[in-house]
Amino acid sequence: MKLQPPKGTKDLLPEENEERQEIYKEMRDLFETYGYGEVKTPAFEHFELLAEKSGPQIEEEIYAFEDKGGRKLGLRFDPTVPIARIVASDPSKPKPIKYYYITRMWRYDQPQAGRMREFWQAGCELIGTDEPEADAEILKIANGLLESVTGERFTMKVNSRDISEAIAEEAGATDEEERMELFRAIDKLDKKSRREVRDELMEKDVSVNKFDDMMDQIESENVPKDADENLEKIIDKAKELGVSEEDIEIDLSIARGLDYYTGFVFETFLKGKEDKGSVCSGGRYDSLIGLYGNQEVPATGFGLGIDRLLEITEKKKKEKRYRPADIYVCPVNDEVRDEALRLTQELRSDGFRVDTDLKKRGISKQLKYIDSKDIPYALIIGPREIENEEVSFKDMETGEERAIAMKEMQDYLKELPAIKQRSMKKEDHEDL
RNA sequence: GCCGUGGUGGUGUAGUCUGGCAGCAUGUGGGACUGUGGAUCCCUUGGCUCGGGUUCAAAUCCCGACCACGGCCCCA
């Protein structure tokens, strides 16, 4: 019996999950500030729907299976497809539609750095408008999300499919397949040298001359006029929304996913760690929804790899242990166990996070347990305390101890730093 | 799908080159110390990823699989 999770998956235990829940909460609040609503779509879809966008060879790269009714299904590998399905199925929804998601996805990939078979992605879609303001909003949300969650700065590298297509046109690359190969090659340049990329193209029998022509244009930043104008507008609007100048960079080599995007595209890199690759990318996809319905609906959006984000920013809360309770009630011996249990329950109904001994252990082992769980306060109760109608309060960090009268206890506990902090945090969330 | 490195109690490790009783630490569980011992001491628990091969003998050498980490391919 194998006890490890399947290849490319992992368990999230309370320690790590607690940290993530905080991040998700922050993300939700931000999306909702901009008027987006959360959607949850099924884990699996009709295979046909998934294949529509990318062709049947997608089967090699995802989890696809047949159910007991003989339906061909596949696990979601991209959150945009189900959302496009929803919109295509009801084109009468008032526009714009603003949806966001925080969810897991699956791809049948070879696991490696920043790539799991099951992984988490957050993102949003803004559907029903093709104005530059819409793309600017997407850029702003992505930027704000990255920076507020990590406290780091990111470079938003932007480009436009129109520009890339115009460059390809000028280089004489007319064949669709050839263009894709060339874009793919250009996109690799952040990881590979120009020579290596050229060698690969030669092996694939793709014209190296066209590649060189395109590179010359990209490097000269001699951008075809019309295409450029719209991108400039988007950048201007994003700046108006508060994205700082030095966070935006036009990079004509950004080409990832071009067969899906129709206009504006962007990728984001953690400043100083550009070699780790993009953590968040998005852009405009005006023809996807039309694939599923009988009506073209313009749309823009982005997706963000949560696991990858946490990995490259090294959220270093490793030493932070999961704290199952703030207060632990320690009965000193068996005589007072019932009293301890009563006290515990009373505090719980007052809203404190309280635990007590359920293993009939001695006080020494109890203190050791409290310490190992990072619980900050202990209430020691024994015959002496009961007689005086008090408890011995122990601060686990300092080791100091003092007697608190039973009736004053609630007020005293409420004012403790670790407890106050938690209830304040709760209120903060409720305000938003 | 391909390539590289690795896999020893729950966790961290020694042992692998040079085959010869699998060791240490920590954790878990129990106990002693009869209310501060969050200590200390004692006991217990539990392991060579799996399958073949070589050998008198395999954690150790060889082959394969699986898994992990990293890279390639691909990335909608």
- Report residues 291-320 of A contacting strand B, contact meaning Cβ closer than 7 Å: none
What integer is the mean pLDDT of A293-317? 84
Question: What is the b/e burial string over A192-224, where b = at least 16 CB atoms within 10 angstroms of the residue's CB?
Answer: eeeeebbebbeeeebbbebbebbbebbeeeebb
Higher pLDDT, A220 or A65: A65
What is the spatial distance between Cα A173 and Cα A166, in angstroms, rounded to a whole number? 10
What is the spatial distance between Cα A190 and Cα A205, in angstroms, rounded to a whole number? 22
Report pLDDT for A96.
Answer: 95
What integer is the mean pLDDT of A127-140? 95
What integer is the mean pLDDT of A256-281? 84
What integer is the mean pLDDT of A80-93? 93
Distance B52 C1' – A2 CA (angstroms): 21
Q: Decide: CB of A287 under 7 A of nucleic strand B.
A: no
Q: Categorize the per-residue pLDDT at A430 as very low, low, confident or very high, splitting at 50, 70 and 90.
A: very low
Q: Does the structure show a pLDDT above 60 at A202?
A: yes
What is chain A's mean pLDDT, rounded?
Answer: 88
Q: Categorize the per-residue pLDDT at A431 as very low, low, confident or very high, splitting at 50, 70 and 90.
A: very low
What integer is the mean pLDDT of A38-50? 94
Q: Does the structure show a pLDDT above 90 at A304?
A: yes
Q: Does the structure show a pLDDT above 90 at A4?
A: no
Q: Does the structure show a pLDDT above 90 at A34?
A: yes
pTM of the complete model = 0.84
What integer is the mean pLDDT of A120-142? 95
Q: For A143-152, write each residue's pLDDT tens digit.
A: 999 999 888 8
Q: Does the structure show a pLDDT above 80 at A260?
A: no
User: What percentage of chain A carries pLDDT values higher than 90?
Assistant: 53
Q: Decide: CB of A257 under 7 A of nucleic strand B.
A: yes
Report pLDDT for A26.
Answer: 93
Question: What is the b/e burial string over A71-89, where b = at least 16 CB atoms within 10 angstroms of the residue's CB?
Answer: eebbbbbbbbbbbbbbbbe
- Report residues 214-233 of A contacting strand B, contact meaning Cβ closer than 7 Å: none
Q: Residue closest to B69, CA→C1'?
A: A112
- Nucleotide nearest residue A78, measured CA to C1': B76
What is the spatial distance between Cα A131 and Cα A429, in angstroms, rounded to a whole number? 33
In terms of DSSP H, where are the helices of A241-396? 288-292, 306-313, 337-349, 363-372, 383-388
Which phi and psi (to 5°) does residue A427 adopt?
Answer: -60, -40
User: What percentage of chain A carries pLDDT values higher than 70?
Assistant: 93
3-state secondary structure of A251: coil
Report pLDDT for A432.
Answer: 39
Tokens representing residue A45 in the block = 């879809």
- Report residues 350-379 of A contacting strand B, contact meaning Cβ closer than 7 Å: 359, 361-364, 367-369, 371-372
Domains and CATH numbers, chain A: 14-41+76-313 (3.30.930.10), 327-430 (3.40.50.800)
Q: Categorize the per-residue pLDDT at A209 as very low, low, confident or very high, splitting at 50, 70 and 90.
A: confident
Distance B53 C1' – A11 CA (angstroms): 37
Q: Decide: CB of A321 under 7 A of nucleic strand B.
A: no
Q: Does the structure show a pLDDT above 50 at A229?
A: yes
Count of all residues that appear for chain A in the document: 432
Q: For A328-342, write each residue's pLDDT tens digit.
A: 999 998 889 999 999
Q: Categorize the per-residue pLDDT at A164 as very low, low, confident or very high, splitting at 50, 70 and 90.
A: confident
Report pLDDT for A1.
Answer: 61
Q: Does the structure show a pLDDT above 50 at A187?
A: yes
For the CA atoms of A139, A144, A146, A148, what is the dihedral angle to 10 degrees?
180
Kindly report which listed range (A36-50, A257-271, A276-290) carries the lowest average pLDDT score. A257-271
Q: Decide: CB of A63 under 7 A of nucleic strand B.
A: no
- Nucleotide nearest residue A112, measured CA to C1': B70
What is the residue type of A47?
F
Q: On chain B, which bases lie within 7 A of the protein's CB atoms? A: 1-3, 27-33, 35-40, 66-76
Distance B63 C1' – A1 CA (angstroms): 25
Q: Does the structure show a pLDDT above 70 at A133?
A: yes
Q: Decide: CB of A191 under 7 A of nucleic strand B.
A: yes
Q: For A53-73, write each residue's pLDDT tens digit.
A: 777 788 888 999 999 999 999
Distance B45 C1' – A168 CA (angstroms): 68
Q: Categorize the per-residue pLDDT at A289 as very low, low, confident or very high, splitting at 50, 70 and 90.
A: very high
Q: For A341-394, write each residue's pLDDT tens digit.
A: 999 999 999 999 999 999 889 899 999 999 888 899 999 999 999 999 999 999
CB A430 within 8 A of CB A410: no
Q: Categorize the per-residue pLDDT at A315 as very low, low, confident or very high, splitting at 50, 70 and 90.
A: low
